[in-house]
Amino acid sequence: MAFVAGEMEREGFKIPLLIGGATTSKVHTAVKIEQHYSGPVVHVLDASRAVGVASALLSDTNRDAFVEETRAEYKEVRERRAERRRETKTQTLEQARANNVQVDWSTIVPPVPSFTGVRTYDETQFPLGDLVPRIDWTPFFQTWELAGHYPDILEDERVGPSARSLFSDAQAMLRKIVEEKWLKVRAVVGFFPANSDGAEDINLWAEDRGPKTEERKPLATIHTIRQQMVKPDGRPNSALADFVAPCSTGLTDWMGLFAVTTGIGVDAKVAEFEAVHDDYSSIMVKALADRLAEALAERLHERVRREFWGYAPDEHLDNSAIIREQYQGIRPAPGYPACPDHTEKKTLFELLGATERAGIELTESFAMFPTAAVSGYFFWNPQAAYFGVGKIERDQVEDYARRKGMGLKEIERWLAPILAYDR
């Protein structure tokens, strides 16, 4: 969004720029976007507020006052943000590395997956009907801007009636999706011998040939990012690479990669609904496809833990425990808090052949298409835990650009949301 605002400024645009969507906020707009564009920039909380904002911007008598008031408000937001930033303590990359996650690799024998390389699965191995009981419904209600956690939301005094009606409609459509096979399941998963470089890079090897050395060229490298905030109570500054055995240990460790989709076929159904102006069903089928994709990712991860990698063969967790992530290992995704760089998807997709094998494509901004898709990594280590990288300093950004072989300005654009400094 900041990049688009900058391009609008470069092209001499003067029209208002309205910012909205689930991942946006007034703070994000004020701090990251408004300063890139000299025209009016306004955050709109939700679609119902857009009419009022547009009316103010179109008004001959109110426009100037509205724009100046908004700019003054966003300036105050930036000043408060800058004050809080000064209170947030960070440290150098070297200091953060010295405080990494401590794993006693001398006591560990990394589990070996049941197969190496890449395999592809479809609804034969992962039937749509088996995914329905694994749906996490809370994000579904959030899609419809109904606040609350499932199943409690169904009995909520304020939104309960709407939630129950919506849930009933969703169940009816799910039955049709399964019985009439509206959607296709595609999943691709790969396991590769892996070692970290002792810092933030994870090297993947073509095959297992014993201990790896720094001289041996890897098949590919996964670049991770380390937390740089100063932490109390001796807590570590984590990076995903901490959970993979370093080359110096002489161990052969492993890393899993995956990409799944339940979105093949959704466009055809959306077109059918839109042709008869049934916007409700159009939104519903897309929302359910998204939920089924997440359910597929969870089911695949479960089978990885119990069968394909087999490091937790005796695991028996119900769906609520899985949603609460009460399992061994993690499945972080590029673009999310533990690995916030979307460009890492390129390496993941190339290694898996995700487009050829599963029909999932990457856009130029590294979004996945079909959108009902999930991709990411599998880490087996019991100490692996989800975390957010948080803000990082220029020294790590420069190091990261060098490691990836990309220009600093390009890396700063991709990492803009997590920079602890102004570009």
CATH of the domain at 374: 3.10.196.10
On average, the pLDDT of the chain sits at 94
Cis amide leading into 16 (omega within 30) = no
CB atoms within 10 A of CB 266: 25
Q: Which residues contact 152 (CB under 8 A, 6 or more apart)?
A: none
Is the same domain home to 261 and 301? Answer: yes
Where do the DSSP E strands lie in 4-81? 17-19, 41-43
Count of structural domains within the chain: 2
Instruction: Tell me if 403 is assigned to some domain.
Output: no
290-325 residue pLDDT tens: 999 999 999 999 999 999 999 999 999 999 999 999
* Residue 209 scores a pLDDT above 80: no
Instruction: Tell me if 141 is assigned to some domain.
Output: no
Instruction: Tell me if 362 is assigned to some domain.
Output: yes
Instruction: Tell me if 399 is assigned to some domain.
Output: no
Angstrom distance (rounded) from CA 373 to CA 276: 27
Is the same domain home to 225 and 82? Answer: no
Q: What is the pLDDT of residue 3?
A: 86
Per-residue CA distances from 276 to 144, 280, 281, 307 (Å):
21, 11, 10, 45
Is the same domain home to 223 and 279? Answer: yes
Residue 18: band (very low, low, confident or very high) from pLDDT cuts 50, 70, 90 = very high
What is the pLDDT averaged over residues 102-127? Answer: 96
Where do the DSSP E strands lie in 277-363? 361-362
Is the same domain home to 77 and 191? Answer: no
Instruction: Tell me if 118 is assigned to some domain.
Output: yes
Instruction: Tell me if 45 is assigned to some domain.
Output: yes
CA-wise closest residue to 296 among 360, 231, 339, 351: 360
Is the same domain home to 11 and 108? Answer: no
Residue 81: band (very low, low, confident or very high) from pLDDT cuts 50, 70, 90 = confident
* Percent of the chain predicted with pLDDT > 70: 97
Angstrom distance (rounded) from CA 177 to CA 174: 5
Is the same domain home to 102 and 43? Answer: no
* Percent of the chain predicted with pLDDT > 90: 86
Identify whether the C-beta of residue 131 lies closer than 8 Å to the C-beta of residue 174.
no
Is the same domain home to 58 and 99? Answer: no
242-274 residue pLDDT tens: 999 999 999 999 999 999 999 999 999 999 999
Q: What does R_g of the chain's alpha carbons equal in angstroms?
A: 24
Is the same domain home to 310 and 383? Answer: yes
Instruction: Tell me if 271 is assigned to some domain.
Output: yes
Is the same domain home to 69 and 95? Answer: no
CATH code for position 6: 3.40.50.280
Q: What is the pLDDT of residue 2?
A: 86
Is the same domain home to 115 and 81? Answer: no
Instruction: Tell me if 175 is assigned to some domain.
Output: no
What is the pLDDT averaged over residues 385-399? Answer: 96
Which residue range is the domain that position 299 belongs to?
A: 91-129+184-390
Is the same domain home to 197 and 81? Answer: no
Is the same domain home to 114 and 235? Answer: yes
Q: Could you give the residue ranges of the DSSP H alpha helices within 260-406?
A: 266-275, 279-303, 319-323, 345-352, 354-358, 394-404
